[in-house]
Structure 1
Amino acid sequence: MASSYTRVLALMVIVEIISLTGGSHQVSAQCGGAIPALIGKCKSFVLIPGPQIPPSSECCAVIKTADVPCLCNFLTPIIEKIVSMEKVVFVARTCGLTVPPGMKCGSYTVPPARE
């Protein structure tokens, strides 16, 4: 579902936004308060360096409960330089979320799923 995908993508972005800007309290309050859990459970699965790694069950649990549409609004070019959007989509799909091709978050457009 688009909502689930947007939720996951936004959460990953917010995790990095908070790390860079120190605005965790404001963003977390605006987007349902899930930021600390996302930082703690999912950060290592979406940063640019390194290979795609299947996320932990703890990361998936956090992603499935986050307010992604809200978080997606905070995606900036700075965050896109730190977070691999390809990894975000991989993590979301691995966690069982529907990530529709063509969905946009920031400047990123989700490609079709690989068969």
Structure 2
Amino acid sequence: MASASFRFLTLAILVIAGTLVFGNHGVSADCKTSIPSLISQCSKYVQVSGPEIPPSQGCCDVMKDLDIPCLCNLVTPEVEKLVSMEKVVFVARTCGLTLEPGMKCGSFTVPPA
């Protein structure tokens, strides 16, 4: 489903945006998502630095409730400097979300599984 695909990408966006810019909850309200929950549960799994690590159940639970289309619209070049979109795809797929190959989020294109 496209919704699940966008949810995973949204996670990456929220983690980056939250890590960088969020003390501001405007995006949280706009995208009907809890930025603090997303950051606390998932940020370590999608950071550019460090190895690819399977996400926790808590991270997967948060991701399943994200408004991915809304969050994907927030992916900017600045976000992509902080969040590894490859790791976002890995985390999303590990959490059981279906990501459509070719889907765009920022400048990133989701590869085939």
Pairwise TM-score range, normalised by the shorter structure: over 0.9
The alpha carbon displacement at 1:19 in A equals: 2.3
Please name the residue that 1:93 is paired with. 93
Which whole-Å CA distance do the structure 1 matches of 2:93 and 2:55 have between them? 10
Output one character per residue of 1:30-88: Cα deviation in whole Å (capped at 9) or x when no partner.
01132111000000000011111100000000001111111001100011011110000
Say whether the 8 Å CA contact 2:12–2:84 is kept in structure 1. no
Q: Please identify runs of 4+ aligned residues in structure 1 that moved more than 3 A.
A: none
Aligned residue pairs: how many? Answer: 113
**Pairing 1:1-115 to 2, within 5 Å after superposition:** 1-22=1-22, 24-113=24-113
Which whole-Å CA distance do the structure 2 matches of 1:86 and 1:7 have between them? 14
Which whole-Å CA distance do the structure 1 matches of 2:16 and 2:25 have between them? 13
CA RMSD in angstroms, aligned pairs only: 1.1
Which whole-Å CA distance do the structure 1 matches of 2:60 and 2:100 have between them? 18
Taking only the aligned residue pairs, the percentage that are identical comes to: 60
Which consecutive residues of structure 1, in runs of 5 or more, have no partner in the other structure? none
The alpha carbon displacement at 1:23 in A equals: 5.4
Which consecutive residues of structure 2, in runs of 5 or more, have no partner in the other structure? none
